[in-house]
A and B are shown apart, each in its own frame.
Chain A
Amino acid sequence: MSKQIAFTIFFLAAIGVFGYTISRLRRFFKLTKKDFPLDNIPERIRQTLLVAFGQTKILRRPMIGLMHAFVWWGFLVITIGTAEMMVDGLVGTERFLGKILGPVYTAIMASGDVLAAFIVFACISFLARRYVIKVKRFSGVEMTPTANLDATVALLMILFLMVSLLGMNIAYVKLAGAEKVGVYPVSESLQGLVANIGGSTVAKLHELSWWTHIVLVLVFMNILPYSKHFHVFMSVPNVFFTRLGPYTKLRNMESVTKEVKAMLDPSATIEPQAADAPIPRFGVKDVEDVNWKNYADSLTCTQCGRCTSVCPANTTGKLLSPRKILVDLRHRMNDKGPGLSRDPQYTDGKALVGDYITQEELWACTTCNACVQECPVNIDHVSLIVDMRRSLVMEDSSAPESLVAMFTNIENNGAPWQFSPSDRMRWADDLFSNKAS
């Protein structure tokens, strides 16, 4: 009973902190623009099944992709067991799902036990990739010591979560004996470890493992939203909210369409704006200009760096790093969001474009969409980059000179180069003379 009370208090505290975090994020989301369509739900479900649950994009790098996929699928089955532990802890039951689910329970426990052992191996490998092999894409300007610490903490926590789970299973197998519910292939094969230890000590090991696991779960859950590893929560919804359609299709700016139509057709009526209505800004200059999907992208990014590792600008030494764009957006919201949610007019004299992301980065993008193609969780870097260019050009009239010349040529000649529109058929000169002869 005391265990139940202790657990309930701890559980409620953890939920409370989590609730605070979520309400903070909700306030941040409220600062973003609404204009992102949620059409074509069947296609969204398909994307979620393939990309999120099926891991199709992370598997584009087969070896490491498969390791991640097993960690993720392991997470899914182990989470069922964790939920069971929480109910057990609150209600005072023991492995209550076992009686309800029967053979399904056996499958869940068996796969969870095997995958937990695999995840221990995977976490050690992932740590080795960071600290021994030093995989190139884990470095970069945006990969600050804090960002790297973030990754290490997440990996260590997952590692200890699995070790404690296995410890609990090993102890359980010995304690339960013939009464055992479920099958635990790894823990059963590791019985040698507890063979010479007395029953009461094993019972203590079980309690210790149980508490370690559940405390880590609840602590981890509360660290995640402040860590790059928030992708544990965000990935599935983010994939569901994918920007659908061809990668190279940019979304139309309806606000511009209205003005262009008015320019082309003087008789068109323009709806009068309320006097106190805020003047909308074209494109993205700061964090309040992004839409909620851009912000969700920034929370989902786990800084794997696959985007940056395929970026033609980055790999040829330019400043642009698609990952940094998302990391910067998230930082900017953390810096400006609290002030902005108290006062819509709040300013700290800084902006996302200029103080966090430089023009030089933005102008280096070739819009090739290699980053979008590789992102395992369907983040859309390119639309955001173009949106930031839109504010540079349409709000600040700030573009490289040669691009301004290109604009002028299009305006005057209908071509990006300085040629006369009357020369448009010159390519056919030879053809026609050939035909005539």
Chain B
Amino acid sequence: MAEMTAAGEQPEILFWVGCAGAFDDRYKKVTRAFVKILDALGVKYAVLGTEESCTGDPARRAGNEFLFQMQAMGNITVLNGYGIKKIVTACPHCFNTLKNEYPDLGGTYEVIHHSTYLQQLIDEGKLRVSDGKPFKGRRITFHDSCYLGRGNNIYDAPRNVLEQLDADLVEMKRSRSRGLCCGAGGAQMFKEAERGDKEVNVERTEEALATGCQIVATACPFCMTMMEDGTKHFNKEDQVKVYDLAELIATANDL
């Protein structure tokens, strides 16, 4: 972003990578897949790079409002400094915080989740899935992220994107507004679960496996980790793969 500003340019979108997108080895692949799509379509985008910092979402959900607001104000200063108008992110937690919570602290932007963004590109006819269709007929189930679905009413966009793959889309028993959490929201990602009979992600993975799917599609870094851990729990990681929407689209287009 700094380079673009130095060159006197403004990006169409700011791609908010998020901490998982920057640091989680598995999720970095999603970041790369999404960027490849943007590059292939010639979208003029920028990232903040080292100027990006955690949105503060996990701190806020864990009760540390001070830390959240410190993070938020720091990020808002950077974003406003660059005159950012439009942000796209693949993380529903970053999405929710940037879109719904930053306006209270002086940061108002058009914030779009990558599922919605990909759908827009498809609707505009810019993004097409090539004829090879490696996913044709394969059984895919989509796991709703709470922060995307229940939180922000985004249920159709990821499904519409998946429809492009010409795959056999199946729903889990609990889906859309009734979807079961992966177990990682509300800062659970960063701690051990309380004692109980079962891990939440195991319960959810059971439900996914019950569909007989070969692929679990996700649209959230935390869901991805939890569902992958779940398939490993059942020793199914070779038969059932977990992919983000962006990865599926990039692969389908041989990017």
Taking a contact as CB atoms closer than 8 A, the residue among B47, B49, B100, B184 that contacts A366 in the complex is B184
Q: Verify A406–B181 contact, CB threshold 8 A.
A: no
Q: Verify A407–B194 contact, CB threshold 8 A.
A: no
Collect the chain A residues with CB atoms within 8 Å of residue B100's CB.
245-246, 248-249
B177 within 8 A of A: yes
Where the two chains meet, the residues of B that have a C-beta atom closer than 8 Å to any C-beta of A are 17, 19, 21-24, 28, 31-32, 35-36, 47, 49-50, 52-54, 56, 58-67, 69-71, 73, 96, 100-101, 104-105, 146-147, 150-153, 177-178, 180-181, 183-200, 202-204
Where the two chains meet, the residues of A that have a C-beta atom closer than 8 Å to any C-beta of B are 60, 245-250, 252-253, 256-257, 259-261, 263-264, 282-283, 310, 312-313, 315-320, 360, 363-370, 372-373, 386, 388-394, 399-400, 402-403, 405-407, 410-411, 414-417, 419, 421-428, 430-431
Nearest B-chain residue to A369, judged by Cβ: B150
Collect the chain A residues with CB atoms within 8 Å of residue B150's CB.
247-248, 368-370, 372-373
Q: Verify A424–B194 contact, CB threshold 8 A.
A: no
Query: A403-B62, A415-B23, A421-B53 known; 6 other A-B pairs, CB under 8 Å?
Result: A312-B180, A317-B197, A366-B184, A368-B185, A372-B150, A426-B22
Distance from B195 Cβ to chain A, minimum over Cβ atoms (Å): 7
Collect the chain B residues with CB atoms within 8 Å of residue A425's CB.
22, 47, 49-50
Q: Verify B63–A416 contact, CB threshold 8 A.
A: no
Collect the chain A residues with CB atoms within 8 Å of residue B19's CB.
415-417, 419
A390 to B62, CA, bound (A): 7
Collect the chain A residues with CB atoms within 8 Å of residue B35's CB.
428, 431
A260 to B73, CA, bound (A): 9
Q: Verify B54–A416 contact, CB threshold 8 A.
A: yes
Collect the chain A residues with CB atoms within 8 Å of residue B153's CB.
246
A315 to B183, CA, bound (A): 12
Collect the chain B residues with CB atoms within 8 Å of residue A60's CB.
178
Q: Verify A370–B199 contact, CB threshold 8 A.
A: no
Nearest B-chain residue to A395, judged by Cβ: B63
A414 to B32, CA, bound (A): 21
A365 to B181, CA, bound (A): 11
Q: Verify A427–B28 contact, CB threshold 8 A.
A: yes
- A318/B185 contact (C-beta < 8 A), A248-B100, A370-B146, A410-B58 known: no
- A424/B63 contact (C-beta < 8 A), A246-B151, A315-B203, A366-B181 known: no
Q: Verify B67–A407 contact, CB threshold 8 A.
A: yes
Q: Verify A402–B61 contact, CB threshold 8 A.
A: no
Nearest B-chain residue to A261, judged by Cβ: B73
A419 to B204, CA, bound (A): 30
A389 to B65, CA, bound (A): 10
Collect the chain B residues with CB atoms within 8 Å of residue A431's CB.
32, 35-36
Taking a contact as CB atoms closer than 8 A, the residue among B59, B177, B192 that contacts A407 in the complex is B59
- A248/B194 contact (C-beta < 8 A), A406-B62, A424-B49 known: no
- A367/B66 contact (C-beta < 8 A), A312-B180, A318-B196, A406-B58 known: no
Q: Verify B178–A310 contact, CB threshold 8 A.
A: yes
Could you jot down 20 A-B contacts, CB within 8 Å? A249-B151, A250-B61, A252-B101, A259-B66, A263-B70, A312-B204, A316-B199, A367-B185, A367-B186, A368-B150, A386-B61, A399-B64, A403-B62, A406-B187, A410-B56, A410-B58, A415-B53, A421-B50, A424-B22, A427-B32
Q: Verify B65–A253 contact, CB threshold 8 A.
A: yes
Interface hub of A312, A389, A415 (most chain B Cβ within 10 A): A312
Q: Verify A248–B152 contact, CB threshold 8 A.
A: yes
A317 to B190, CA, bound (A): 20
A402 to B69, CA, bound (A): 21
Collect the chain B residues with CB atoms within 8 Å of residue A320's CB.
194
Taking a contact as CB atoms closer than 8 A, the residue among A249, A256, A360 that contacts B96 in the complex is A249
Taking a contact as CB atoms closer than 8 A, the residue among B22, B23, B67, B101 that contacts A249 in the complex is B101
Distance from A56 Cβ to chain B, minimum over Cβ atoms (Å): 12
Q: Verify A394–B66 contact, CB threshold 8 A.
A: yes
Nearest A-chain residue to B53, judged by Cβ: A414
Q: Verify B181–A368 contact, CB threshold 8 A.
A: yes
A419 to B194, CA, bound (A): 26
Q: Verify B190–A416 contact, CB threshold 8 A.
A: yes
Nearest B-chain residue to A316, judged by Cβ: B198
Q: Verify A318–B203 contact, CB threshold 8 A.
A: no
Q: Verify B194–A402 contact, CB threshold 8 A.
A: no
Collect the chain A residues with CB atoms within 8 Å of residue B60's CB.
250, 386
Collect the chain B residues with CB atoms within 8 Å of residue A257's CB.
69, 105
- A256/B65 contact (C-beta < 8 A), A246-B100, A424-B50 known: yes
Collect the chain B residues with CB atoms within 8 Å of residue A316's CB.
196-200, 202-203
Collect the chain A residues with CB atoms within 8 Å of residue B17's CB.
424, 427
Collect the chain B residues with CB atoms within 8 Å of residue A283's CB.
63, 65
